[in-house]
Structure 1
Amino acid sequence: MSDTIRQVYLYDGTFEGFLCCVFESYMKKETPVDIVPDTFEQFFLYPIKEIETDRGHADRVFRSFDIKMSPEVTDFIKCGFLTCHPKKEMLMYRFIRKGYRVGGGIIDCLADPDVHELYKAVKHLKNEAHLLRGFIRFGEYNKTLVSVIAPKNWVLPLLAEHFSDRYNGETFMIYDEVHHSALIYHPYEWMLVPIDDFTLPEADAEELLFQQLWQRFYKTIGIKQRFNPKCQMTHMPKRYWSHIVEHQPEGLAVSGEKRHLSGS
């Protein structure tokens, strides 16, 4: 591909938009200097080219992954887009170009710096999703189960199936305050929706009571002589504690105001 025209691709931040960047690159036989979402605030040294999202173009690129590589690579690319790697777009772009040449075996080429870097990012994503399957705590607000998380990666797509199966008869919402999105489930369907701002409503007396009971249960079953903060943080990193009931000061509610229990 020609590198004579050095420019930055600007896209809408969606996976389909990124695939359209790949389509544009191949159709115009050009290699972008960088690929960035339109929310990215930075001064660029190179001209900016805005890439319009076209579902037809995105579908053509997406179908090519199975044909020219493999379904495993397709899943890997989808996960790559969910990672928090600061340069994931160009990393994925280079990975895809190499994958078109090598085929499905590209996923095993860990000696390649781009493959290895993307592999580490996807591994971090999956590890975080695995941890959150155990760390998420729900509270009940207006007959709806609600949880707030603050992950580094966009893990909601990886959590959807797990929690939809586990709570298939409930109505629940998991809000990601970092990526401003929410997983909303109502029997028997789920959706991912963007939410710019969200604050938990005040918990009622029953919910506050259950939170306090859980805190006391957690404290009671602990063996004082075996308390090991370093080991605890290894299995439950401290950055997750702010949204876990048992790590709040006893008697405080995990709500918008974190107020004391009535009568406590």
Structure 2
Amino acid sequence: MVTFVYDGTFEGLLTAIFDAYFRRSFPDELVRIGEVLPMFSDEVHDVVTDDAKSSRVWNAVTKKLSKGAVSAVTTSFLCEVKEYDITLFRFLCKTINSPAGIETDFSDQDVIEVLKMYRRVNGEAHRVLQFMRLQKAADGTYFGLMEPIYNVMPMAVSHFVDRFSTMSFLLYDKRRGFGFYYDGNNVTRVTMPDTLQH
């Protein structure tokens, strides 16, 4: 069994695809740094995220997918479901190998899984937009706190910036320990020290 270990970023996933083609060795398992390796790993390759490599892979992928499918890929990656990494890896490799792309081949299980995960993550993003409530703090900044199932806060920020462009606010994902602060002009990603999260 061949296992690739990567940093859990989208760029890291794309770099893993580059490495697989370069090495002519494709993983059976894709594991994020810090996770336990599968018991029967014959070969382990540590993927070092490289922007140049990931850009080459992304350019190859986006030439073969529609805008909707590209959005489905980036959105579904936010699911953070452990077993999903290898599914998306296979989907992207099949896209590269296919002369016309595979996004409409609904007989392919990886296509179905990407579509399902896209719908789940997108649905969770809409739920956050509907149910996020902002409360005004003493300094006039508005604060919203949620614990979404999937990592959808990056998708929600632009909506709140458009809607509340003249206000400063902080949207915080309690489950993941980070949020986004908008000062009326710029959005900044913020994290809370572990000692303050509980």
Q: 1:192–1:63: structure 2 CA closer, same or farther, 3 Å change rule?
A: farther
CA RMSD of aligned residues (A): 2.1
Judge conservation of contact 1:65–1:71 (CA < 8 Å) in 2.
no
Bigger CA radius of gyration: 1
Q: 1:151–1:144: structure 2 CA closer, same or farther, 3 Å change rule?
A: same
How far apart are the structure 2 equivalents of 1:175 and 1:140?
14
Alignment partner, residue 18 of structure 2: 23
Q: 1:102–1:43: structure 2 CA closer, same or farther, 3 Å change rule?
A: closer
Q: How does 1:84-95 map to 2 (within 5 A)?
A: 84-95=80-91
Alignment partner, residue 113 of structure 2: 117
Judge conservation of contact 2:180–2:187 (CA < 8 Å) in 1.
yes
Alignment partner, residue 67 of structure 1: 63
Alignment partner, residue 7 of structure 1: 2
Q: 1:17–1:194: structure 2 CA closer, same or farther, 3 Å change rule?
A: farther
| TM-score, normalised via structure 2 length | 0.89
Query: Alignment partner for residue 32 of structure 2, among 17, 37, 50?
Result: 37
Alignment partner, residue 96 of structure 2: 100
Q: Which string of whole-angstrom CA distances, capped at 9 and with x for unpartnered residues, describes residues 73-106 of structure 1?
A: 3222111211143312100011112212335552
| TM-score, normalised via structure 1 length | 0.68
Q: 1:79–1:43: structure 2 CA closer, same or farther, 3 Å change rule?
A: same
Pairs aligned (count): 196
Alignment partner, residue 157 of structure 1: 154
How far apart are the structure 1 equivalents of 2:148 and 2:195?
16
Query: Alignment partner for residue 148 of structure 1, among 145, 150, 171?
Result: 145
Q: Does the residue aligned with 2:8 lie in a helix, a strand or coil? A: coil
- Give structure 1 stretches of 5+ with no counterpart: 1-5, 201-255, 257-264
Percent identity over paired residues: 25
- Give structure 2 stretches of 5+ with no counterpart: none
Shift of 1:180: 2.2
Q: Does the residue aligned with 1:127 lie in a helix, a strand or coil? A: helix
Alignment partner, residue 180 of structure 2: 183
Higher relative contact order (CA 8 A, sep 6+): 2
Judge conservation of contact 2:80–2:150 (CA < 8 Å) in 1.
yes
Alignment partner, residue 133 of structure 1: 129
Judge conservation of contact 1:181–1:196 (CA < 8 Å) in 2.
no
How far apart are the structure 1 equivalents of 2:100 and 2:78?
21
How far apart are the structure 2 equivalents of 1:72 and 1:182?
27
How far apart are the structure 2 equivalents of 1:104 and 1:123?
23
